[in-house]
């Protein structure tokens, strides 16, 4: 049995191609059923996300079965096969295992180290399990894949440090305030990035939300969405007396908050710490405010630098993760290799046991009635001779020597074995 990967992903396939071949939650079970019934591939996991449509399968014959899967893709989605030509990725053997490990670890993701892909793969495998579309090989592979993904995440920093601005803002807020639940927050102005950052903050437990905007209608809208209260824009200074976090994105042409003003406010609030995130361009908050004690002011560029530095760090950590993946690929291949000899070893053992039982019965019958312990002694003699005889050949078959294929073949002939499908090889 061989592991293969056939699919489309963001590296080679455009979104137009990917969406044509995507499997939604309705199509997916049908596809698994079809693959199983038509015996295209023995085991299947289909991972379909916005960035990739990939089929992980175990097949008997590499050349013909890959072709069959490609046919299936085009037939199932009713798209001519030419559409796949330049976009398809096909991996087999070690490359396939490596690819699956890398995908699960987030090493193949658009955002390096992003964690969602692992959950998506777990879901995909769950559906395959539900439809009994996997067996020994893929089950073992998936189990290993999840443990590799866990290793790369815990032993390296590929998933650490926010790599986009709004996450970086939340991460920073947590290093200032520890726990964001119960913290008060004000959104000044509106705008896509400001709203995204606000959403992340609220998702992390920020409770007391205030919204202010020059056009009240927009403020009301946002207040409904975030469950906050609206105050007139002129009153925002009063709000500064007690809030913990402020996001400013007003589009004013000049500074709306100066150092001296905030200095007075900080005195009045007894230096309670404040985190201000100024998204506006041009900036709305006097940058010198960052010099005040217990005030932390970040603008878009600051947070972009933070996110970029984190992304760079993830890139460095990715090298370590690749090394882990490589080691795990080798260990998996070793296990997979040991499978090749299993049928032969089982056959030798079965044959030897059969002979032993037969001869033992004959002898015992000839000897007539015997005491229990004497029968036991004879039984012991026969099985220990058998075990000692078959130990060297089975041990040799289990080892990972280069000439193992030949050895398996020889063993089959020497012991006159008729193993099932002769270890995957035709006679």
Partner 1 sequence: MPYEKGNHKSLNITGAYALQIETNILLFEIALTLYFLSTITGVIEIFRSKKGASKAAIYLAALGFIFHTGNIFVRYVQGGHIPVTNMHEAASFFSWCMIILFFFHEFRYRLGLLSSFIMPIVFLIMFSSAIFPREINEFLSPALQSYWFGVHVILAFLGDAAFAMAGGIGVMYLLQERYVKSKHLGGLFQKLPSLQVLDEINYHLITLGFPLLTLAMITGVIWANSAWGTYWRWDPKEVWSLITWLIYALVLHLRLTVGWRGKKAAILSIVGFMVVIFAFFGVSLILKTKHVFP
Of 15-23, 153-161, 196-204, 225-233, the segment contacting partner 1 by CB under 8 A is: 153-161
Q: Per-residue x/- marks for partner 1, 167-186, CB under 8 A? A: -----x-xxxxx--------
Bridge partner residues of 3 (DSSP): 58
The stretch near partner 1 (CB under 8 A) out of 66-74, 186-194, 300-308, 399-407 is: 300-308
**Binders of partner 1 in range 312-331 (CB under 8 A):** 313
Is 304 a binding residue for partner 1 by CB under 8 A? The answer is no
Nearer to partner 1, 43 or 171 (CB): 171
What token pair was written down for 139? 């089950």
Q: Which of 306, 324, 345, 347 is in the footprint of partner 1 by CB under 8 A?
A: 306
Least distance from C-beta 267 to partner 1, angstroms? 8
**Which H or E run contains 91?**
strand 89-92
Query: Measured from the CB atom, is 54 or 302 closer to partner 1?
Result: 302
For the CB of residue 174, give the shortest distance to partner 1 in the complex, in Å: 6
**Which is closer to partner 1, CB of 66 or CB of 306?**
306
CB of 307 to partner 1, least distance (A): 10
Residue among 288, 305, 319, 403 that touches partner 1 (CB under 8 A): 305
Interface size with partner 1, residues (CB under 8 A): 27
In whole angstroms, the minimum distance from the beta carbon of 170 to partner 1 comes to 13
264 interacts with partner 1 by CB under 8 A: no
Decide: is 241 part of the binding site for partner 1 (CB under 8 A): no
The catalytic residue among 50, 367, 377, 400 is: 50
**Cα(182)–Cα(76) distance, integer angstroms:** 52
Q: Whole-number minimum distance, CB 177 to partner 1, in Å?
A: 5
Q: Does 311 bind partner 1 (CB under 8 A)?
A: no
Q: Is 248 tagged catalytic?
A: no
Interface stretch with partner 1, choices 55-63, 65-73, 118-126, 265-273 (CB under 8 A): 265-273
Site string for partner 1, 35-54 (x = CB under 8 A): --------------------
The DSSP bridge pattern shows strands 274-278 and 295-299 to be parallel
Return the ∠ at Cα 370 (arms to 367 and 371), rounded to 5°: 160
115 binds partner 1 (CB under 8 A): no
Smallest gap, in angstroms, from Cβ of residue 266 to partner 1? 8
Cβ 175 to partner 1, closest distance in Å?
A: 5
Beta bridge partners of 142: none
Cβ atoms of 331 and 108 within 8 Å: the answer is: no
> Is there a contact between 138 and 280 (Cβ–Cβ < 8 Å)?
no
Angstrom distance (rounded) from CA 147 to CA 127: 19
Does 378 interact with partner 1 (rule: CB under 8 A)?
no
Whether the CB-CB separation of 287 and 299 falls below 8 Å is answered with: yes
Interface with partner 1 (CB under 8 A), residue from 33, 34, 229, 269:
269
Interacting residue ranges for partner 1, rule: CB under 8 A: 155, 157, 160-161, 172, 174-178, 267, 269-273, 290, 293-294, 296, 298, 302, 305-306, 309-310, 313
Residues designated catalytic: 50
């Amino acid at each position: 049995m061989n592991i293969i990967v056939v699919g489309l992903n963001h590296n080679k396939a455009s979104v137009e191609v990917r969406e044509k071949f995507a499997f939604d939650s309705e199509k997916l079970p049908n596809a698994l059923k079809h693959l199983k019934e038509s015996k295209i591939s023995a085991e299947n996991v289909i991972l379909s996300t916005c960035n990739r449509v990939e089929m992980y399968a175990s097949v008997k014959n590499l050349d013909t079965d890959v072709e069959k899967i490609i046919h299936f893709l085009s037939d199932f989605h009713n798209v001519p096969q030419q559409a796949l030509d330049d976009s398809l990725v096909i991996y087999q053997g070690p490359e396939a295992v490596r690819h699956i490990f890398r995908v699960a670890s987030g090493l193949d993701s658009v955002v390096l180290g992003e964690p969602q892909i692992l959950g998506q793969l777990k879901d995909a495998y769950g559906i395959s399990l539900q439809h009994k579309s996997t067996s020994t090989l893929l089950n073992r592979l998936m189990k290993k894949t999840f443990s590799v993904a866990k290793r790369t995440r815990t032993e390296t920093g590929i998933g650490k440090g926010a790599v986009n601005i709004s996450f970086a803002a939340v991460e920073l807020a947590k290093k200032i305030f520890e726990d964001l639940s119960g913290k008060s927050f004000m959104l000044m102005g509106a705008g896509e990035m400001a709203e995204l950052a606000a959403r992340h903050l609220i998702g992390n437990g920020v409770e007391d939300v205030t919204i202010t905007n020059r056009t009240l209608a927009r403020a009301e809208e946002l207040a409904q969405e975030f469950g906050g209260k609206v105050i007139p824009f002129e009153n925002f200074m009063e709000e500064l007396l007690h809030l913990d976090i402020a996001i400013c994105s007003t589009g004013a042409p000049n500074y709306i908050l100066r150092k001296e003003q905030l200095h007075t406010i900080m005195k009045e609030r007894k230096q309670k710490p404040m985190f201000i995130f100024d998204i506006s361009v041009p900036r709305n908050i006097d940058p010198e405010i960052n010099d005040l004690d217990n005030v932390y002011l970040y603008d878009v560029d600051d947070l972009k630098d933070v996110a970029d530095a984190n992304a760079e760090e993830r890139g460095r950590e990715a090298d370590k993760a690749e090394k882990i993946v490589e080691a795990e690929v080798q260990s998996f291949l070793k296990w997979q290799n040991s499978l090749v000899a299993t049928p032969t070893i089982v056959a030798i053992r079965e044959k030897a046991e059969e002979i032993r039982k037969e001869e033992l019965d004959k002898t015992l019958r000839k000897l007539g009635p015997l005491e229990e312990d004497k029968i036991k002694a004879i039984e012991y003699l026969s099985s220990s001779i058998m075990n000692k005889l078959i130990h060297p050949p089975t041990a040799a078959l289990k080892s990972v020597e280069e000439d193992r294929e030949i050895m398996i073949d020889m063993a089959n002939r020497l012991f006159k074995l008729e193993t099932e499908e002769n270890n995957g090889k035709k006679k």
